[in-house]
Structure 1
Amino acid sequence: MKLLAIYFFLLGLSVIAVQAYARAEECIFRKLYGRDADICRGGLEVLYPELGDVGCTYIPKCSQYRKRITKEWNSPYVRYQKADRNKQYVLIMVDPDAPSRANPKYRYWRHWIVINIGGADLKTGRVQGHVLSDYIPPTPPSRSGYHRYQFQIYEQPEYEAISLSTEEKAFSGSWNMENFVYQFRLGAPVASTQFLTANYRD
């Protein structure tokens, strides 16, 4: 009887240890790799409360981070410490995986555009400028897998009047980002990054 009690005691300890390990595993911030990591260049940082810089990572499931990034937190700090104080910048945030990475028929889903961002503000992460598209938090549909949320910083050409058309304002999906970049002569981004997250209910 004593051996049986010891057996169940040890079994209970092992179950607790496995559960603790599983919880700890969920909280690991996995870095992106391969092609998903190629966009991470220039030293651009995207900072949310508690998470810190989420650039080039998967958002973990622990502490309800995936729910909080969707439901609770406002727009992140976006910091580019190499910004020139004498220049202005454009920030674009998009989801190229709408409604799913396997079927991105609404690529690019526009999540945020801010123009006229001063270099000094960008150095500190305070995105202050003229908002063309209000911030929409990451909202991947249920059972659609991981979505990439991409952030790109462009130097803003002087005297360029940047705007969205009436049609673009009416719908955030299927946005022709390449045409926007070409139309307003933004060139290549000076820095970019992304993070991946899935629906918090999945």
Structure 2
Amino acid sequence: MKLLVAVLLVAGLAGIAAWGGEAVAGDADMATCVFEKLTGQDRKFCRGDLEVFYPELGDVGCTYIPECNQYRKRISQEWSSPKMTYPQADKNKKYVLIMVDPDAPSRANPKYRFWRHWVVTDIDGRDLRAGNLKGHVLTAYSRPTPPSRSGYHRYQFRLYEQPAHEAISLTSEEEASLGSWPMERFIEQFRLGSPVASTQFLTQHQ
């Protein structure tokens, strides 16, 4: 995480965001918002320096979205696509970004995995390093909307190097439905290989 402390406004008071449950500043009258980092296998998914920035939250990679300040509701209903940066991007290469929910409709019963939330191809490495995500949008950004009582959902961001001169597209069947997307087949078909970087955050219905 690049951003370790975020200043929050709650009912006109400046709240202090803390990581890992340890408050770093503030007094007893200020609201504290704790950002928990992912652990175990969820933590292992996060590799490379892919950064995902939402308003007020900063880089949400490898964290639970906190409940305070209605952040879970706002990420699902208000905020548009996050700012993405990958400082290690090669300026002479192009990249493919995929955002999916592997836990649809729930982590216990993911029969609609991978739910497709965002697919962008032909992203120039220079733009990616600068956080200016231009490219060819195959699937427009769809906000995380985990169903009620379905528990936590992982929202995964996978970044791939795009093979030179490779034209990437979705089939008409894929375009017609976001759910049950055969992501692995898509990756194999267009020879994307393994992600050069990946990260995720967890949130639930609020």
TM-score (norm 1): 0.86
**1:81 corresponds to 2:84:** no
Q: What's the counterpart of residue 63 of structure 1?
A: 69
Larger strand proportion of the pair: 2
Q: Distance in 2 between matches of 1:142 and 1:108?
A: 19
Q: For residues 80-126 of structure 1, what are the alpha-carbon distances to aligned partners after superposition, in whole Å with 9 as ceiling and x for unaligned?
A: 00001110000000000000000100000000000000001111222
- How many residue pairs get matched? 178
Identity of aligned residues (%): 69
2:125 alignment counterpart: 119
For the pair shown, the structure with the greater C-alpha radius of gyration is 1
More helix by share: 1
Q: Distance in 2 between matches of 1:121 and 1:62?
A: 33
**Following superposition, which runs of at least 4 residues in structure 1 exceed 4 angstroms of deviation?**
none
Give the letter aligned to residue 52 of structure 2: V
Structure 2 residue aligned with 1:163: 169
Provide the residue aligned with 1:198 in structure 2.
204
Alignment partners' CA distance in 2, 1:128 and 1:85: 14
Partner of 2:155: 149
Give the whole-Å Cα distance in 2 for the aligned partners of 1:125 and 1:59: 21
Report the equivalent of 1:179.
185
What's the CA shift string for 1:38-95, capped at 9, x where partnerless? 1100111000010000000000001111111011100001110000111000000000
Shift, 1:129, TM fit: 0.3
Task: Point out where structure 1 has 5 or more consecutive residues left out of the alignment.
Answer: 1-19
- Secondary structure of 2:63's counterpart equals coil
CA distance, structure 1, for counterparts of residue 128 and residue 71 of structure 2: 25
Considering only aligned residues, what root-mean-square deviation do their CA atoms show, in Å? 1.1
